[in-house]
């Protein structure tokens, strides 16, 4: 943060220029806040006025009382999105209406006022344009956007917040996992903890779904696993998802991914990969995937905004490790779908689905 705080705040006209002016090493982007964008968007909701029109302001603290609902009872949903430079010289987002809809669905589940789709998309696009200098050159990474809806008003007894804040901030990022984008990751199947239970909020992008996974994720990382795969809470039999992404399993030309049963995050990348794979001749089934079947599959990969498409090098379950890829080499379908998706996203390939949104 100290590094970035010295950077001048860019006005909108300057930010529209296509050559990034900030002093960022584009060849060394990780997934963190080293290169946090200096302009954020903030809107406020009150019962009298509903959502105000919001405004861009310098990246900085949000003001909340210790009694803020979100700090005590966790009323919070977030989104992950990416802005990229495209081969046609545009600055593009990917299916922002989908994030808006998911944010609104999560807001309903957590008794928060949803933001209108148009305002959500406009807020993200405005934040992107104001921070254009933080969008890496094509192929080097993206400006990761984090829209956040919070019960920011004070309350003591358990109940919904009296007021809400919506904010969007961002940072220039590269690959999510530390080995780099196309390096396969090793995953371990969690045997004790669950990510979500039926009837809970696993199908929303609630902040509260992400802190319970830390204990298992940190333990896994100590043993050199990149992340953890969760099983269903009822039977401990079927794959659910990874802490940070959805999971797919391929055998021959058939790809399976767990269905959206309410405990699985409805990933935008997940939905897109299903359509993209079908359009490329794969049979894609949204049905329960037994962990024992996954251990026998030809290939496993994960998807998410942050991870994009990531090849799984190995799965470890009850002490047995099954390797899927040759050392360091991404699985063939993961590589095919990663390439197809990222080329479409950056206007290097046709977009027959109309998914690319120009800012």
Give ∠ CA 275-281-284 in degrees, rounded to 5.
Answer: 50
In this chain, which stretch among 10-18, 35-43, 247-255, 303-311 interacts with ligand COI, using CB under 6 A? Answer: 303-311
- Answer yes or no whether residue 80 interacts with ligand COI by CB under 6 A: yes
Least CB distance to ligand COI at residue 345 (A): 14
Residue whose C-alpha is closest to residue 205's, from 269, 253, 157, 160: 269
Catalytic residues: 205
Going residue by residue from 29 to 68, which x/- string records binding to ligand COI, judged by CB under 6 A? ----------------------------------------
Length of the chain: 359
Say if residue 221 is exposed, middle or buried (CB neighbours under 10 Å; 0-12, 13-18, 19+). Answer: middle
Out of 114, 258, 304, 313, which residue is the one contacting ligand COI (CB under 6 A)? 304
Any bridge partners for residue 55, and if so which? 42
Choose between 295 and 308: whose C-beta lies nearer to ligand COI: 308
Q: Which is nearer to ligand COI, 152 or 269 (CB)?
A: 269
Would you state the structure tokens that stand for residue 118, as one six-digit string?
């148009």
Closest CB to ligand COI among residues 211, 223: 211
Query: Interaction with ligand COI in 259-288: which residues (CB under 6 A)?
Result: none
Nearest approach, Cβ of 107 to ligand COI (angstroms)?
16
Q: Are 114 and 108 in contact (CB under 8 A)?
A: yes
38-67 burial code (b ≥16 CB/10 A, e <16): bbbbbbbbeeeeebeebebeebeeeebeee
Q: Which is nearer to ligand COI, 10 or 92 (CB)?
A: 92
In angstroms, the CA 253 to CA 284 distance is 9
CB of 31 to ligand COI, least distance (A): 7
Q: Which of 290, 306, 335, 349 binds ligand COI (CB under 6 A)?
A: 306
Q: Whose CA is closest to 313, among 332, 299, 293, 292?
A: 299
Distance from C-alpha of 145 to C-alpha of 8, rounded to nearest angstrom: 20
d(CA 27, CA 178): 14
Which residues between 235 and 254 bind ligand COI (CB under 6 A)?
244
- Using CB under 6 A as the binding criterion, the count of chain residues that bind ligand COI stands at 5
Q: Which is nearer to ligand COI, 165 or 244 (CB)?
A: 244
Residues near ligand COI (CB under 6 A) are 80, 244, 304-306
């Amino acid at each position: 943060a100290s590094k970035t705080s010295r950077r001048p705040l860019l006005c909108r006209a300057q930010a529209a220029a296509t050559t990034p002016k900030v002093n960022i090493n584009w060849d060394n982007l990780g997934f963190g806040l080293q290169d946090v964008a200096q302009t954020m968007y903030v809107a406020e909701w009150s019962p009298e006025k509903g959502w105000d029109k919001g405004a861009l302001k310098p990246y900085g603290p949000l003001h909340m009382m210790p009694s803020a609902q979100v700090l005590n009872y966790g009323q919070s949903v977030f989104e992950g999105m990416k802005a990229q430079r495209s081969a046609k010289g545009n600055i593009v987002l990917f299916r922002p209406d989908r994030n808006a809809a998911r944010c609104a669905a999560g807001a309903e589940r957590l008794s928060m006022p949803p933001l209108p789709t148009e305002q959500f998309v406009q807020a993200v696009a405005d934040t992107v344009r104001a921070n254009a200098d933080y969008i890496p050159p094509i192929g080097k990474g993206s400006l990761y956007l984090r829209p956040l809806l919070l019960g920011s008003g004070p309350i003591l007894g358990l109940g919904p917040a009296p007021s809400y804040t919506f904010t969007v901030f961002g940072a220039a990022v590269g690959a999510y996992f530390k080995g780099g984008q196309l390096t396969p990751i090793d995953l371990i199947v969690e045997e004790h903890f669950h990510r979500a239970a039926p009837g809970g909020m696993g199908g929303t992008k609630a902040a509260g779904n992400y802190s319970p996974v830390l204990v298992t994720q940190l333990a896994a990382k100590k043993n050199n696993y990149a992340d953890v795969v969760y099983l269903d809470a009822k039977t401990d039999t079927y794959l659910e998802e990874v802490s940070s992404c959805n999971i797919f399993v391929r055998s021959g030309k058939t790809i399976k991914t767990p269905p959206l049963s309410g405990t699985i995050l409805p990933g935008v990348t997940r939905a897109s990969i299903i359509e993209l794979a079908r359009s490329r001749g794969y049979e894609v089934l949204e049905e329960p995937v037994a962990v024992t079947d996954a251990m026998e599959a030809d290939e496993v990969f994960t998807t998410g905004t942050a991870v994009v498409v990531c090849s799984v090098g190995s799965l470890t379950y009850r002490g047995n490790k099954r390797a899927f890829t040759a050392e360091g080499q991404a699985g063939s379908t993961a590589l095919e779908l990663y390439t197809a998706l990222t080329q479409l996203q950056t206007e290097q390939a046709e977009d027959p689905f109309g998914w690319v949104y120009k800012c």
